[in-house]
Amino acid sequence: MPNKTWLTLGLALLASAWCAGAALAQTPVPPDVAAGAQLYADNCQMCHGERGEGRTGARLRDFPAFDPNTPRNLIKDVVMKGVAGSRMPAWKDVLTESEINAIVEYVVSWTSGGAVYPPTVTPRPVQPIPTLAGVPGDPARGQVVFEQNCRVCHGERGEGRAGARLARPLASAFPQAYVQNVVQTGIERTTMPGWRQVLSDEQIQDVTAYVLSLKPVSASAPTATPAPAPGASAWSLAIVFAAGLLALIAIMIISSRRRQA
């Protein structure tokens, strides 16, 4: 093949690589529904259910605001600021704006199609925790109940997140009865719901024992879930262009050797 033909072919390959990379870079990155699904599982599922069917929180699938035609900002406002006088807390100080946007897109996907549900989280192994004298319930089993239902608001160690800090001395002469009653019935005019319609009596006793076993910790600023990485369109462009450049160099080397031969 003549050298000019090799060079022409190489330049054509390089131009094709550049065009392909440019197309990748210009294609809008679709909403990261998968990231929103995981964020929902980590922060919302405990109250609203795995697929919005409702537990202690609202049944989102029946909530008219989540129609796909509703402006995203209205839904985002509810997540960020909560709903006054309801069990819905504000998440603006717990999650980043990009995380809230991802959750909104995920919930809207239920009605617009294409929903992606997160995998079931593998339960952590039960760690033995000494029982408390005079307190019914198993705090080790209570830790499992706490992680599945309470951790998202109260923090992994009861340090507080969207909900109250639990790892602190309780101002009550009967702390066991107080905690158990709060878990059962909730607290009026706060975001703390009652769990007696969701948890069994044994689970409530167990989680009460676990809360009473928590060691006091200082309140700290909530740590937000890491945001998903930004779109990789720029990287795609660079990789495709580099591949085309390498192909051109290889063609030029082959052409040079054929000329010397």
Q: What angle do CA 227, 85, 87 make, to 5 degrees?
A: 50
- This model's pTM is above 0.75: no
Is residue 197 domain-resident?
A: yes
Do 74 and 37 belong together in one domain? yes
Its domain, for residue 164, covers 139-213
How confident is the model at residue 233, as a pLDDT? 43
CATH number, domain with residue 201 = 1.10.760.10
Is residue 227 domain-resident?
A: no
Percent of the chain with pLDDT strictly greater than 90: 28
Is residue 63 domain-resident?
A: yes
The answer on pLDDT for 56 being more than 70 is yes
How confident is the model at residue 20, as a pLDDT? 46
Structure tokens at 180: 């158990």
The mean-pLDDT minimum among 79-83, 107-111, 183-187 falls in 107-111
Mean pLDDT for the chain overall: 75
Q: What is the dihedral of CA 81, 86, 88, 92, to 10 degrees?
A: 20
- The pLDDT of 85-113, averaged and rounded, is 86
Is residue 248 domain-resident?
A: yes
Question: In Å, how far from its chain's centre is CA 24?
Answer: 27
Burial class for 100, CB neighbours closer than 10 Å (0-12, 13-18, 19+): buried
> What is residue 129's three-state secondary structure?
coil
Name the residue among 46, 200, 217, 47 with its Cα closest to residue 137. 200
Are 143 and 209 in contact by the 8 Å Cβ rule? The answer is no
Which tens digit of pLDDT belongs to each residue from 125-171? 777 889 889 899 999 999 999 998 999 899 888 998 888 999 888 87
The answer on pLDDT for 224 being more than 80 is no
Q: Which residues contact 245 (CB under 8 A, 6 or more apart)?
A: 14, 17
Is residue 228 domain-resident?
A: no
Is residue 168 domain-resident?
A: yes
Do 175 and 154 belong together in one domain? yes
Q: How many domains does the chain have?
A: 3
Is residue 87 domain-resident?
A: yes
